[in-house]
Structure 1
């Protein structure tokens, strides 16, 4: 947090001034309540200084309801008027590059939505811009903070992972960019567990107007994995399973469940819990956790994680899958 001088010259910590850009459905369900909860739990650490959206009346209503300061309809005007310590940007993907570039060049630490660009080329431009400017930029891939996955990883500890399986199921998701915009969650979650991918191959079939994928992955660390992407299979669920010598773990993503986690070892069920029971969805699914990471990085004057470079390979893989399984030519930078 920023310092100021008190009456006796002793430094006082000022609250970090955070802005929110965008009040679409995803923002209202996840980012707004996460910021509000953080203020409620840490009232002396941050203030919700500004809210920016082209829908002026709606933005004013959201600001009044949730305690944001000034309201703006234009990003440049907000940057001229406000001294900000950080910004959460939740904009349509077509605007991601322009918005992120403007905030990075203004020197504002940024939490940006995935994917970090409308395509792979835009993502690489953002990665380069962040590296050139030494900007503090975090990408919102909330599976990394999902309570069920966190619980599974905590139980796994230093047990050696041999095989990882992820199954993403949705209902009537027939949009062309489903892999790049949504299945990236599963690809990135697998990478966060097992590390970078050495190679992959995929099988595809059309089912009910959507492309189903079975992706076989080989990780640099020697583990292998399978990703099942089933966008038209009649429900909304997501599950990850870890396997190693004499143990296995299953975790149902808390966004669609209460975060059920089960672990078996030496033939016995040794863990069974509901990691998100009684908590709101935006806490269960990791949105609050990533907000807390972003603010912690601002307080500690460090780079928040994951950065655009850290998820670049996830974007590369999804881009290749969406375009017909060509492998990415450049490995991601970490």
Structure 2
């Protein structure tokens, strides 16, 4: 576990996601490790910055992240800004020689992510991209189940990832769909080989709105289907993996579907086991471990910094293909 002696962190961006995902987790970590310094937070809205400081226990609040970087002695910065600002803000953090955690997507297109990855390598900046589903305990449990089946020589046939939302009318849902894209790849343990896309035009509901469906294969031969329905009457993420003598169904613990079943249903040769999600939503949906493991990685060699910008490039490539309404993607 973390021995957070002396590490001082700052947060850039005090909006809804920062409050839902990172602020509470950092406050919990501060309670567990008093040596952790929540030095400063920043938002262009002074009221948001100050309320974030008060709510989560930061020492100071700023409205200029450049001022924060200049005045504070920081060891790491959380970049939690809208995706069109992530690359430019992250470059300035790296210019200051500070480690950083970047929210997804780490750039609006592949070129931005490659530029960031090359710059981080050039300046030897420790960093991580915040794909929280990689840290969901149920995802880890599912991956462990699949690895055990593979050890026994059992073949994995296919994976289906359903991302369903209520009243989402984003003209560009690809920046949310990237979670399904990335999590499916993470669970499969392999990059995509190819995908073919289909879109349902929902512009009668809102301009630019579409359903997104993709079908293809991973490089390890597992077939994959991705179904992203932003305006479909419920909030659910369901991952279904089928193989030789087994089916696993993972119901993600979304905040929006509070009260619905969340857990992992493991069906093996007719026997059924259910693993329930943790009660603490921050832990259940991976946010606590996402933050804790990054701090661990900065402080020890026990948790390698392997979830970096380069690990996110293919997910961003596919996100960009969907934004451009591509018919297919080939690795």
TM-score (norm 2): 0.89
Equivalent residue number for residue 31 of structure 1? 22
* Structure 1 match to 2:263: 260
Change in Cα spacing, 1:290 to 1:13, as seen in structure 2 (3 Å) is closer
* Separation in 2, partners of 1:225, 1:138: 26
Q: Secondary structure at the match of 2:148?
A: coil
1:234 aligns with 233
Q: How many equivalent residue pairs?
A: 315
Give per-residue Cα distances to partners, 1:172-204, cap 9 Å, x unaligned. Answer: 22222102x100000000110111001111122
Question: Contact 2:191 / 2:314 at 8 angstroms: preserved in 1?
Answer: yes
Corresponding residue number in structure 2 for 1:60: 50
Unaligned runs of 5+ in 2: 151-155
Closer/same/farther in 2, CA of residues 13 and 167 from structure 1, 3 Å limit: closer
1:198 alignment partner, one of 190, 193, 198: 193
TM-score normalized by the length of structure 1: 0.88
**Cα deviation, residue 265, structure 1:** 0.8
- Compute the RMSD of aligned alpha carbons: 2.1
**CA shift digits 1:258-295 (9 cap, x unpaired):** 631100111221x212122x21x222211111101110
**Could you report, residue by residue, the CA deviation over 1:133-177 in whole angstroms, capped at 9, with x for unpaired residues?**
232121111111123222222333331333111001012222221
| Gapped regions of structure 1 (runs ≥ 5) | 2-11
Q: For 1:210-266, what per-residue CA distance to the aligned partner results, in whole angstroms no more than 9, with x for missing partners? A: 311221121111111111111111111101011111111100111245631100111
- Residue 274 of structure 1: which of 269, 276, 280 is its match? 276
1:50 aligns to 2:47 (yes or no):
no
Structure 2 CA distance for aligned equivalents of residues 294 and 94 of structure 1: 23
CA distance in 1, matches of 2:79, 2:221: 36
Contact 2:197 2:328 in 1 (8 A): no
Match of 1:99 among 72, 79, 89: 89
Aligned equivalents of 2:172, 2:57: Cα separation in 1? 35
1:283 aligns with 283
Maintained 8 Å contact 1:137/1:303: no
Moved more, 15-24 or 48-57: 48-57
DSSP 3-state at the match of 1:117:
coil
SS of the residue aligned with 1:222? Answer: coil
